[in-house]
Each structure stands twice: as C-alpha cells, then as structure tokens.
Chains A and B, each alone.
Chain A
Amino acid sequence: MGEDLTPARLLELDRDHVWHPYAPMPGRIPPLLVESAAGVRLRLAQPAYGVSELVDGMSSWWSAIHGYAHPVLDAAARDQLGRMSHVMFGGLTHEPAILLARRLVEITPEPLQHVFFSDSGSVSVEVAMKMALQYQRSRGLPGRRRLLTWRGGYHGDTWHPMSVCDPDGGMHTLWSRALPAQVFADPPPAEFSQAYVDHLDAVLGAHADEVAAVIVEPVVQNAGGMRFHSPRYLTALRELTTAHDVLLIFDEIATGFGRTGELFAAGHAGVSPDVMCLGKALTGGYLSMAATLCTERVAEGIAGGEVPVLAHGPTFMANPLAAAVAAASLDLLLESDWRTEVGRVSAALSAGLAPARDVPGVRDVRVLGAIGVVQLDHEVDMAAATRAAVERGVWLRPFRDLVYTMPPYVTGDEDLARICAAAVAAAEAG
C-alpha cells in the first residue's frame, strides 16, 4: 500500500494499460477522470480547462435517462445486492428477471411476447440475427441466411452486427470484405418518398429467397450518422417484409424508452416488428443489460425445428442486479410524465441549437425527441470541439461530422441551454 493514487497517477496508469473505445493504445487524447456523478453532472477528479463539473449532454451514450446516482435506482441496486448480485440463468430463474420480462412484454407492441436477456446491445443484435436465421432454417428455408438493411445504420461492434452497419461511411469499413455479405438498400431519405419504398421492395424482392430478416433502426440511425427518417417507412417495411415473408427486426437499443418522443420508435408508426432489440437505457444507464424480444410465431417456429433450442447463453444473462435496476428504471420512467419531459427537452434543443445554423461549416441542425444534432460539412476536430464544450461546463463526445447531444430527460432548462451553447461552440471550434 502507500501508493499515492493522485489523478495524475491514475491517468498515467490509464494510458499505460487501459484501452478506450474507438481509440488507439495508448490513447492520443487523454480522457477526463471522473470521480463521481450525480443528477446530470459528472464530477471530475481534477479540473479540465478550469472546469471540475460537467453537465452531461450524452446520457453516457443514450443510457442515463434519469441522470446519475438516482436515489430510487440506487435503492433498487442496494436492495438487490442484499439478496444476490448474480446467479447463472441456465436451470435457475429469479424474480427480477421474471418481473422485468413481464414488464417489457407489457410495454412493447403487443405481438412481442418473449424475452431473451443478454449483457449488451451488440449481443442482443447477435441473438436477434440468430433467431431470424434459425427461424427460417426451422421452417425449411436454410438458404435464407442473409440480412437486409438500409445503408447508414449502426447495430454494434461485434462481428455480425458490424456486417449490417453502414458498409462505406461507417466505422467498420475496414472489415467490409471480411464480414458476411449482407444485402444493402440505399439509406432512407428523411422525408417519405414512394420511390424509396419501391426501391426497398425491389431490393427485398430480388433477394427474398436468401434473406432471413430485414434489420433497421427505426426513425433514428444513431452512430451511423444520426440521420432521421419518416416513420412512414416503418409501415412500408412492415408491409413489405410480410409480403415477402421475411422477418422484421427493429434495433431500438438507442431509440427505446422514450428518447424519440414515443416510448419506442416503432410507436411513431404504430407497427410491431417480429423481433426487437433493447439495451442502453434499459437499466437507466446503471448496468450493462440488453434484451431481444420476439413474437410467438418466431419462438414457435424455432421450437418446431430440427434443433428446437436457441443455442445462446451469456454468462451474465438476466443478471439479477441489472434486472432489478431495470425494473426500477422502467417504473420511474412510466410513472413520470416522460412524454412531456421529452417534449420539453426537445423544444429546448430546437431553440438552443438553432444558432448553430449560422455557424460557418454547419451543414444541418436537426432535433427529434430528446436528440439534437449539429452536422458539419467536415470531419470534426474532436479534441478542439470537446475542449470547447468542456470549457463551457458540458460533456459532449462529437464524432465524424457530428456534434450531437441526447441529454438525460431530467435535465433542467438552464442546463439544456448550457448544453446547447456548448454544442454551438463545439461546432464553431471543431
């Protein structure tokens, strides 16, 4: 003992040993050392550019919708810790998982009846894909093992989810030749166009014999470029996939739990997918957990096959601690007037980000639900943009040509104004 773990020492150790996301090893831009977080604020262990507390504009990548150290979620975690933090899920079950599954079935579109828990969003997409392929195989169509998606998407960083991320502009372009070859349609236009629906129909029609499922992020393509599209395309996809007899998977990992102004983005269109992936805000940002929901048809189809089991079982499947916090987070959300709150955040982002339109180098400013996006006409200078935001007391994580924010729903009006001012400054600096 006796080691003096000063912030500087910790950051030194971090640089020596810890790999950060989407970063080289060792990292080029030193990360900020967070000591604690409460409400919508991150407390830094040492000031950065003279600032020691940052308003969080990122909800820790879409997840911390209630902010940090929420007393209700803290209590749910402590309460569950007193019982057990984990047991395996093979052969065992527990109340937190059972109640969470029932709750998810209640609040998602009615046809979705079964829940497969996993430990991260990417894995929930892997599970969705496996379900789809196995469903088709079980009904005697083993040739249907490709996925169809539209370009501009993002579904995670593990191998098969990477294969349905945007193959050109996305972050996984390096692997495009090594990944399974999926079928890609053009990116969905923002506004509804019948010509685009016809295009989807043509692409799906040409590959219907080999496609197991269509997988898309409904309404918002997140890390693929933060593009929004008309929910009318979801009704078109529902209809086309039914007509061509392939499954429809909605990846609602980022969009779920109110972020777009509907509890699930599918709700903008009022359609139900055959399979839905959830993650991120599922536990209110407390713990890593994801879920893949499916219809009775999908489950029964697999059960009726040559191999009736879904051979998948994460070690931390249905982790009781995460499940208990998730249930508490859902209660917190649904008992709140979340629709009004998201609307309030949305209006504040619309007003606060509007000045970015006049910033040279800004191509577009768009807001949907509690998501605000400033798109530049050039690759953002991440270090300069981040610094500009931090100097204004706000945590933002720009990437590619985007400065964007999806704050916790509980963010107050003053803090929202501060986030917006920081985003505008980041757009100017970056």
Chain B
Amino acid sequence: MTTLLETLTEKALRRETPTREEAMAVLGGEGELLDVVAAAARVRREFFGNRVKLNTIINMKSGMCPEDCSYCSQRLGSKAEILKYTWISPEEAAEHAGRAVRAGAKRVCLVASGRGPGDRDITRIENTIAAVKGDHPDVEVCVCLGLLGEGQAERLADAGAHAYSHNLNTSEERYADICSTHTFADRVDTLRRATEAGLSPCSGAIFGMGESDEDIVDLAFALRELDPDSVPVNFLIPFDGTPLGGRWELTPDRCVRILALFRFFFPDVEVRLAGGREIHLRSLQPLALHLANSIFLGDYLTSEGQPGADDLQMIADSGFVVEGADEPTLPAARHDLVTIRRRGAGSAKARRAEAVRQGEPAAADGPGADG
C-alpha cells in the first residue's frame, strides 16, 4: 500500500497538486516529522539539487504606512520602535545591494512601505534598479511596493526589474481579520498586473496569525492559482506595538510541516524560507533547507536576522551549496511553461512584454533568467 507521503512525493515529482485531504493530513500530524522532511526533500532535490539561493532585502522606505495589516511593525498606528525613514537614495540602496551580492546574494528585493507607489516612487525605483544593476549586472532585482496602478508594472519591467513580490499572506476568508484597508482581491489584482507586464511573480504567506489548517490549505491553493515563480514562507515576527504582538503560536514542528506542504504544492517553484525562521524554527532551521531552496541572507525589513556567516555555515554543514549567479534557479521545464503562459495572454500588455523580452537572453540561457 502506498503511504500518504509516498503519494505526495510522486505527485509532486509529476508537478501534481495535492488534494485538500492530503494537505490536511500533513498539517494534522500524519507521518513522523523526519519522514515528512524526507518525502518533501526528494522533491526539492529533484528540481533544485543541493543549491540554496540567497536573497537580500533592502527596505527603501520604512514605517509610516497607511495600511493597517495587523502583523506588520510598519502598519498604521504601529507602536513598534522600528527605524522609520523615507526613501533612501538609489546610491545607498546600491551600496547595500553590493555588499549582499558580494556575500552571495543572487536576488535583491527592493521593498518600500506604503499602500502602493506613486509615479514619482516608480521613478525612484527605476533609478535604484539602474544603480544596482550598474554595479552588478547579473543580479536579479525583485520589487515590492504594494498595490500597483495602471502602467506601473510595465515601467518596472522596462527598467529591468526581474520580479514583483506581493504576498497573499493569509487565506481569502481571513483576510479582513488581518487588514481592513485593502482586500485579498486587491492583492491578487496586483500580482496579475505584474505577471502580465512580464515580471516574475513572487507571492507567499505569513503563518502564525491564528490561521487554521484549512486556512493554510486554502491559501496554498490560492497561491497555486496565481502560478508564482517564487513563494516566500514567513513565520510571524510578533512585534510589540502591533495587534499580533506577543503571539507565539507556532512550533518548530508546525513550521517544518508547513514548509513541506508548500514544497508539495510548489514542487518546481522557488520556495523561500523568509522572515521568522530563526525565532520559530530555532534549532530545526537546518531541516528547513531540505524543503526550501531559497533563504534571505541577513536582516529583514525591520528586524535583524541571524548573521550571514552563520547562514553560510549552516548551508555548508547541511551539505548544501550557495546557488551561483550563473545557475538558473528554476528547472528548465518550468521556464518553458512559464514562457508559454505569458506570451499566450494575447492582450496588448502581453505583446508589449514580449517585445521587452526580445532584447534579453533566451529564457533558459541567460543568467538568472527565470522570468
């Protein structure tokens, strides 16, 4: 008889999505933890070998956000004593990016607080992308600015942004519980805009906000529908001064099961171990490398991560290697699928994205050209 975990591994290797029942069973505690890790790790190795992609986050504008997302230290009315500042200069951003790239980061995520960018903000980001890429032409630049308006995604794509990141965070049903100032649908809309403009879609989640197993599975299916190229998995950093401050409901076991589940849902997609890994996985962090194929290096938006040297040591100790700038992150088959989907949209936007892409190396050839 085939066990649940064997089934999940085999389906994932065929890029097949788990059923709701299978997903619930993994979260519900079926299978010993190491067996769950082993089953998902087979999938990870199949598509990503022993490579770990390193990403770095640069907070371009911190705090003073008009949105009220309850998990966020930068939210409306946040009492968290975080750094607050408005736009850092393109030069300063490029300097931070350069340091991270020299430490092994392959992707630079430019993040700014706020509901969404104004057109002036897009100009700032265009200049920042130019500055970052001027120093390090091969680096992938991912942009995360909130809700996008008409034409903004296209401007970012034209400026050389590689990806756009906008997390769904939690299930559609629970969205109003964590945020009243925008909706789940707003977020999906922005992801669609970014995808249509030819940006590689990045969208993930935050766990530990009171969600049930059903919510987690709902979110996994919702994300699956968006067909992202990368999926950051965050565990709530419960800042004092936010509504979810002091909320510690995750265990390392649960975090590992969530990561395994996401590997089954996103077998050939970059699953990124993101915020909160140090404080929630704690001594089980290295296990997570067998599930996720990507991590953030260094500090997060408003809190400090573990020192980069410790991360590199953990990667080496666990038998993994840092993914090089000249290695594609995603498996070749996924590039092809992605390419077909984007060009098949048939709208004016899709044609424009196509035109933009013609100047770039063919998808599977170029460094980091997974979008």
Contacts and interface: CB of A to CB of B under 8 A. Distances in A.
Interface of A: 110, 192, 194, 198, 201, 231-233, 235-236, 238-239, 242-243, 262, 267-271
Nearest to A262: B77
B76 A231 contact: yes
Contacts of A270: 63-64, 75-79
Given A267-B79, A268-B76, A270-B76, A235 B64 contact: yes
Contacts of A110: 81
A429 to B, nearest CB: 38
A365 B87 CA distance: 40
B66 interface: yes
Given A232-B66, A232-B181, A270-B63, A239 B76 contact: no
Interface in B57-92: 63-67, 75-79, 81, 86-87
A201 B121 CA distance: 13
B86 A243 contact: yes
A267 B80 CA distance: 11
A413 B126 CA distance: 58
Residue from B66, B77, B86, B115 with most neighbouring chain A CB atoms (10 Å): B66
A233 B77 CA distance: 12
Nearest to A267: B77
Nearest to B242: A270
A192 B181 contact: yes
Nearest to B75: A270
Q: Give the 10 A-B residue pairs with the shortest CB-CB distance, closest first.
A: A232-B66, A235-B66, A270-B78, A270-B77, A242-B86, A235-B64, A238-B64, A268-B77, A271-B64, A269-B76
Given A269-B64, A271-B64, 10 more contacts: A194-B115, A231-B76, A233-B66, A242-B86, A243-B120, A268-B76, A270-B63, A270-B75, A270-B77, A270-B79
B114 interface: yes
Contacts of A243: 86-87, 120
Nearest to A201: B118
In this complex, which of A194, A235, A242, A262 has the most chain B Cβ atoms within 10 angstroms of its Cβ? A235
Contacts of B63: 270
Contacts of A267: 77, 79
A235 B181 contact: no
A238 B67 CA distance: 14
Contact of B65 (A192, A233, A235, A242): A235
A194 B117 CA distance: 11
Contacts of A269: 64, 66, 76-77
Contacts of B118: 198, 201
A238 B115 CA distance: 14
A134 B84 CA distance: 26
B114 A232 contact: no
8 contacts: A232-B181, A235-B64, A235-B76, A236-B66, A239-B114, A242-B86, A268-B76, A268-B77
Contacts of A239: 64, 86, 114
A110 B79 CA distance: 11
B256 to A, nearest CB: 34
Contacts of B78: 270
Nearest to A233: B66
Contacts of B66: 192, 232-233, 235-236, 269
A232 B86 contact: no
Contacts of B120: 243
A231 B77 CA distance: 8
Contact of B76 (A194, A232, A242): A232
A207 B87 CA distance: 22
A242 B64 CA distance: 11
Contacts of B81: 110
Interface in B83-107: 86-87
A262 B76 CA distance: 13
